Amino acid sequence: GEPLKRGTSIVLHLKDDQIHFAEERQIKDLVKKHSEFIQYPILLWTEKEVEKDVDEDTEMKDEPSESKIEEVAAETKVEDVKEEGEEWKKEKKKFKEKVHEWTLLNKQKPIWTRKPSEVTPEENKSLYKSLTNDWEDHLAVKNFSAEGNLEFIAVLFTPRRAPFDLFEPRKKLNNIK
């Protein structure tokens, strides 16, 4: 691709047996899973096949010139009869062309940067499940912002059940996300 004017470019060096991670589908799945709610755009250089139509007239290169065609047409008189409702159609050949372009992978703005009225319950559910790996839906959700010395916007989820290992002393603590 083109050199970046601004931002971060990530180059992956993969072992031969891990080449499946370089597939476009795999990269899209990984970005969706781990970076769905990141506010910075994530772009992927993709290759697409686009079908294009080519007129038969533009395709013909070894045909005789128009002046020769006109001479032959003057010598022979051929009438084309067109029935009612029938239209003349030029034959178009289709071919597939490979096109490279940048594709935006994370199209959604993060939930916490949008107005609470614009966020659907399904979006809240997907954010909750991606953060907590919980199989149940959340009990309640609250969007709020705080201003002062420090200004922030947050989404607070209340889980439906307490974790089964809540009071276990050897439990590895997770940071607040």
The model's pLDDT over 64-90, given as tens digits with 9 standing for 90+, comes to 455 545 554 455 455 555 555 555 555
**Residue 149, pLDDT above cutoff 90:** yes
Both tokens of 38, joined, read: 């990141």
Residue with the bigger pLDDT between 51 and 171: it is 51
Both tokens of 30, joined, read: 């990984």
User: By C-alpha distance, which of 120, 118, 131 is closest to 34?
Assistant: 131
**Residue 169, pLDDT above cutoff 80:** no
**Residue 61, pLDDT above cutoff 50:** no
Of the listed ranges 18-32, 72-86, 100-114, the least confidently predicted one is 72-86
Task: Determine the average pLDDT of the residues in 162-172.
Answer: 75
Of the listed ranges 42-46, 71-75, 119-123, 126-130, the least confidently predicted one is 71-75
**Residue 120, pLDDT above cutoff 60:** yes
Most confident of 70-74, 161-165, 171-175: 161-165
